[in-house]
Amino acid sequence: MCVTCGCSETDQVAIVDAATGDQRMMSHEAAHAHGHAHAHDEHSDHGHSHSYDGSAAVMAKAHRRTIDLEQEILGKNQLIAERNRGWLAAKRILALNLVSSPGSGKTTLLEHTLHALKDEFEIGVIEGDQETINDAERIRATGCKAVQINTGTGCHLEADMLERGLKTLEPADNSLLFIENVGNLVCPALFDLGEHSKVAILSVTEGEDKPLKYPHMFRASKLMILNKIDLLPYVKFDVERSIAYAREVNPEIEVLQLSSTTGEGCDRWHRWLRGALESF
């Protein structure tokens, strides 16, 4: 799936309709995995002797091939992402890509948001996880439509997965679409899905320096939600420093503080969503 993280290209990706349980399998093209394997094969026979000529040239060639391969994958993904973006724009569907580490509270935040706004807006959700349909079932329990995408060993959603997920979900015109990406702060930053904006969710249990450790994700995001603020009395977390770090890597990023468990601050998130829909 991606050269950056080494996701297995041979894995099957499952698109699951959480309403019916119907499952459709899709597989990625294995071309770049094949090329990457050859890149390794070219310098795998030397053992540890380093006695043959041209080892540096072979390594350089393999490195170039990996870079070319990654550019090819990202380029193909971008073409599909632009197609998704055009389709979503034509139907006036505001798509937000929720990204974070595992355990930041994305699904809980979505549940709270759907309960609060489902009577105000038409809302659909595409859930991304390596396995299970647990999150999609939690979303469906709110009364909203959800589709689960299982990526196998893949650590992120890609534009073609979203494209197929949209065909299954069939979101309504003039609606709000949440895409809950696989929990990972690295690769989802690289793969545009065709969404309107990325929303990075950071919980106070993770450490305030996450924006510096994973700058690409916070640089790619329009909004950072600082979640689980109800736990601040019990954890060592510097809120102001965390916000300063986020704005160090992305001066334009907006920041909201809330607790999806207690509901504290969620009204500001709801206002942000209303404003985003009005200006879309």
The confidence score (pLDDT) of residue 40 equals 39
pLDDT exceeds cutoff 50 at 43 = no
Residue ranges in 20-133 assigned as alpha helix (H): 31-41, 55-90, 106-117
Residue from 186, 136, 193 nearest 20 by CA: 136
144 assigned to some structural domain: yes
Residue from 78, 92, 164, 89 nearest 128 by CA: 164
85 assigned to some structural domain: no
Q: How confident is the model at residue 46 (pLDDT cuts 50, 70, 90)?
A: very low
Structurally, how many domains does the chain consist of? 1
Q: What is the DSSP letter of 26?
A: E
147-197 confidence digits (pLDDT tens) = 999 999 889 999 999 999 999 999 999 999 999 999 999 999 999 999 999
Report the percentage of the chain scoring pLDDT > 70.
77
Estimate the crossing angle of helix 266-279 against helix 106-117, to 10 degrees: 70
Q: Which H helix or E strand runs over 13? A: strand 12-17
Token duo for residue 15 = 């698109």
Q: Residue 252 to residues 191, 218, 247, 274: CA-CA distances in angstroms?
A: 21, 10, 7, 20
Domain containing 252 equals 92-279
125 assigned to some structural domain: yes
Token duo for residue 61 = 């060639």
65 assigned to some structural domain: no
pLDDT exceeds cutoff 70 at 128 = yes
153 assigned to some structural domain: yes
| CATH code of residue 99 | 3.40.50.300
Q: What is the mean pLDDT of residues 242-264?
A: 98
166 assigned to some structural domain: yes
The confidence score (pLDDT) of residue 21 equals 66
64 compared with 249, residue with greater pLDDT: 249
The confidence score (pLDDT) of residue 14 equals 76
pLDDT exceeds cutoff 80 at 6 = no
Distance (Å, rounded) from C-alpha 186 to C-alpha 177?
Answer: 22
158 assigned to some structural domain: yes
Residue from 172, 170, 190 nearest 182 by CA: 190
Q: How confident is the model at residue 31 (pLDDT cuts 50, 70, 90)?
A: very low
8 assigned to some structural domain: no
Q: Yes or no: say if 184 and 213 are a contact pair by the CB < 8 Å rule.
A: no
The confidence score (pLDDT) of residue 54 equals 61
